[in-house]
Amino acid sequence: MIAFWGRGAAGFNVIATAHNGQFATIADQILFDVIAPSPFINNAGDVAFFASQDRGFSFGAYVGNGNAVTTIAGGNATEPFSVIRSGGPSANNDGTVVFAAQRGTVSGIFSGNGGDLATIADTNGAFRSFGNSSSILFGRFDSFPAINNSGTVAFQAVAGSGAHGLFTGPDPLEDKIIASGDALDSSTIAVRTGNPAEGIPVPPIQFARGLKETGQVAFTAILTNGTIGVYRADPVIIVGIEIKPGGGVPAVINLAARGNIPVAILSSATFDARTVDPATVRFAGAGVAQRPNGTFRASIDDVNGDGLPDLVVHVTTTAIQLSRTDTIAVLTGKTVAGVGVRGAESVRIVPSGR
């Protein structure tokens, strides 16, 4: 099933769906004065869209399924909340809609499902603006935030520092996916691009609803070396690890020793270490050792006594890529669903000859 904006047989603009040659009207200009393009349909068949009931002076966010239309955020100019027309909303399968909007002089990213609205981030915090804020030729900005079924929200914004980037929450540092100045594809993301003399600055990062259920984000970027490309950012879960469980911190690693070193990936209330694929684990550059039958040296054990199952992997000591000056060892890997994990712990390297 797809959702689209078009002109109906009666000459009215409509939001409609199509499936196996059958069409259904979600909203038309009998119900609304103006209907904005760029609707979004979720897997449940709910369609989120922007529309106006006051001849386009202000727009509201709505969701419909062909039987009823639910108001997510009213667009009446007399209300304190006016939804910005440009861009478009997104919705997950629970019917929660995310969109860019303006309340008075404050712009932000908001979500709702017909009840109270939640603020994801706004200009009362650490952001200057949201979306493609350089669309100055049209006197507006385009914003296409996204929400997945886990409730993760991704959006394009300009941080208070002036950095254009992609974010998932109100903190431009803690919730940053990537931003101008960051390393990417053997270069860095440009700070400002385009031809300012013509009044056409181009944001170095563009994002439009490119968020997967696994948390992966697709976006386009302009790099300082002139490269323009489409990229994917993979989410990373920060996990706790214990090197040589029970041996204390910092963990002492003798790089000249034979055999393997155990490293535990710890479970928590929000993370199950058993979901990590041992084949993807790298500890300081070393993969998980294998048994003679080809299986990985990995096991499940509660190494810290918190009642949760931890994953213990063994890596070959001589494969570890650390030097005598290193004080931190990093573990990376992926879950069986493809979500990245990363953990680190203090180390003391002996002997000092390597």
CA angle at residue 310 from 305 to 312, to 5 degrees?
Answer: 115
Helix, strand, coil % over all residues of the chain, rounded to 5: 5, 45, 50
Task: Tokens for 303, please give them.
Answer: 């190494």
State the Cα–Cα distance between residues 83 and 71, nearest whole angstrom.
12
Q: Could you identify the residue written with the tokens 């950095």?
A: 163
Backbone φ, ψ for residue 229 (5° rounding)? -150, 170
The count of structural domains within the chain is 2
- The pairing of strands 241-243 and 251-254 is unpaired
Using 70 as the pLDDT threshold, list the residues of the chain that sit under it.
Answer: 56, 75-86, 132-141, 192-201, 352-354
What is the reported pLDDT for 243?
A: 97
* 293-308 per-position pLDDT tens digit: 999 999 999 999 999 9
In angstroms, the Cα distances linking 40 to 1, 8, 26, 89, 207 are 11, 19, 12, 7, 15
Of 234, 259, 274, the one marking the end of a domain is 234
Are residues 75 and 214 located together in one domain of the fold? yes
Task: Find the CATH number of the domain harbouring 302.
Answer: 2.60.40
Task: Tokens for 274, please give them.
Answer: 């058993």
Of 184, 210, 234, the one marking the end of a domain is 234
- Answer yes or no: are the C-beta atoms of 164 and 179 closer than 8 Å: yes
- Answer yes or no: are the C-beta atoms of 74 and 82 closer than 8 Å: no
What is the reported pLDDT for 84?
A: 67
State the Cα–Cα distance between residues 175 and 327, nearest whole angstrom.
27
State the Cα–Cα distance between residues 178 and 201, nearest whole angstrom.
19
What is the reported pLDDT for 139?
A: 35
Are residues 223 and 161 located together in one domain of the fold? yes
Q: Is 120 helix (H, G, I), strand (E, B) or coil?
A: strand
Are residues 218 and 252 located together in one domain of the fold? no
Which uninterrupted H or E stretch holds 103?
Answer: strand 97-103
Are residues 262 and 148 located together in one domain of the fold? no
Task: Find the CATH number of the domain harbouring 124.
Answer: 2.120.10
Are residues 319 and 208 located together in one domain of the fold? no
Q: Residue 259 carries which DSSP code?
A: S
Domain extent at residue 266: 237-350
Are residues 56 and 187 located together in one domain of the fold? yes
* 29-87 per-position pLDDT tens digit: 888 988 988 999 999 999 999 998 877 677 889 999 999 999 998 765 555 556 665 68
What is the reported pLDDT for 134?
A: 45
Count of other CB atoms within 10 angstroms of residue 260: 17
Q: Is 140 helix (H, G, I), strand (E, B) or coil?
A: coil
pTM, whole model, 2 decimals? 0.73
What is the reported pLDDT for 340?
A: 87
Which uninterrupted H or E stretch holds 202?
Answer: strand 200-202
What is the reported pLDDT for 132?
A: 64
Listed residue (86, 85, 95, 118) closest to 45, CA to CA: 95
State the Cα–Cα distance between residues 51 and 73, nearest whole angstrom.
11
